[in-house]
Amino acid sequence: MRIDVWLRRAVTVALAMGALCPPLALAQVPARFYWKTLSDANAVPLIYQSVSGNTNPFDPSHRVTSGANFDATLAMAGYARTFTLLDRSAMAAVIVPMGRISGAVNVGGNSVTQAASGFGDPMLEFNINLLGPRAQKNLPDVLRYEPGFSVDLLADLALPAGEYDSSRQLNIGQNRWYGRLGMPVVWQLGAWVPGRRTTLEFLPAVWLFGTNDDYVGQTLKTDPLFQLDAHLSRDFTERAWGSLDVAWYSGGKSSINGVSGEKLDNLGFGFTFGYQINDNLNFTFGYKSTLSDEAPDDLRMDSFMVTLVFGWHPLLEGVRRLHSEK
């Protein structure tokens, strides 16, 4: 392979390999989110999501409000960086949600329309690969990389700093600590050639929630929530790909002043389309909706999500400049 072709391919592949996106805990986690890329890469995401249903999408416990109908617009911005830790691929990220939500809630037996807007709880994420190829430290590592069967350790932590009004049931911030522990799995199926890549991916995770001691003057507690996301993804071309997505929610029973609600046991299905616009910019569009959600206590939620991620790496930017000057 000629050196200029090799360099062009390395620049394209290195930033396209990973979604390089910080935590999407409040949104649908897309396929290829935990693909690995070159260490010391950077990314800035812009995420837009439109959600409707009977649960507050700013609250990952997905506590169902029977008979309610919420409409929300979320925007999320953040920063992510990949690095090498103990010779393994790792990523650290921060994301800040913002937006607005409105809907009818039950207050004292009466239906009352409420609305909230502002900044949500900032979230930190750390992810490290445990099983799979070593970290990609240089361009030859990128070209040799194949995920095979890889397993990561994932940890999220939300900081209770979002806007919160204790007199309202509907809020952007949640007034409590919460987080997630998970083990993302990427299973390579077939050849690892751009335009022909296929993966089966899983993300089993458990959400843990602190206590909100001032929920409309009451105490809100939530049991751990188990969530499983699965994706079957396939390249359409070297730049375009798609996936079929499944999510399962189980547990997460909430209680208010000791009065317990129902635990979740719901399925969601959707799809994702991704496109690499250029060497630095990635685009994804996704839709997800719950199934068998006719009962009042069933989780009902459907969402559209659009993501733009701008990624860069000093080494690759230097390679591209040298190539352009030839």
* pLDDT on residue 111: 67
Note the pLDDT tens digit of each residue in 186-208. 999 999 988 899 999 999 999 99
Chain-centroid distance of CA 161 in Å reads 20
pLDDT band at 144 (very low <50, low <70, confident <90, very high): confident
pLDDT at 25 over 50: no
Confidence of residue 19 (pLDDT cuts 50, 70, 90): very low
Residues 118-145 have a mean pLDDT of 91
- 243 pLDDT band, cuts 50/70/90, is very high
Q: What's 227-260 look like in SS3?
A: EEEEEEEEECCCCEEEEEEEEEEEECCEEECCEE
Q: Which CATH architecture has domain 3-324?
A: Beta Barrel (2.40)
107 has which bridge partners?
110
Please, which residues have CB within 8 angstroms of residue 211's CB and are 6 or more apart in sequence?
176, 219, 220, 221
Residue 165: what pLDDT?
Answer: 93
Whole-number pLDDT of residue 214:
93
- pLDDT for the residue 315: 77
Check residue 15 and give its pLDDT: 53
pLDDT in tens, 80-120: 899 999 999 999 999 899 999 998 766 555 667 889 999 99
pLDDT of residue 12: 55
Q: What is the pLDDT of residue 23?
A: 43
Q: Give the SS3 label for residue 6.
A: helix
- Mean pLDDT to the nearest integer, 121-136: 94
User: Cα–Cα distances in Å, from 133 out to 59, 91, 144, 195, 235?
Assistant: 35, 15, 10, 21, 21
> What is the structure's pLDDT at 50?
92
In this structure, of 108-112, 173-177, 270-274, 307-311, the range with the lowest mean pLDDT score is 108-112
Nearest to residue 88, comparing CAs of 27, 153, 164, 166?
153
Q: Taking 60 as the threshold, does the pLDDT of residue 14 lie above it?
A: no
The reported pLDDT for the residue numbered 108 is 56
Does pLDDT of 323 surpass 80? Answer: no
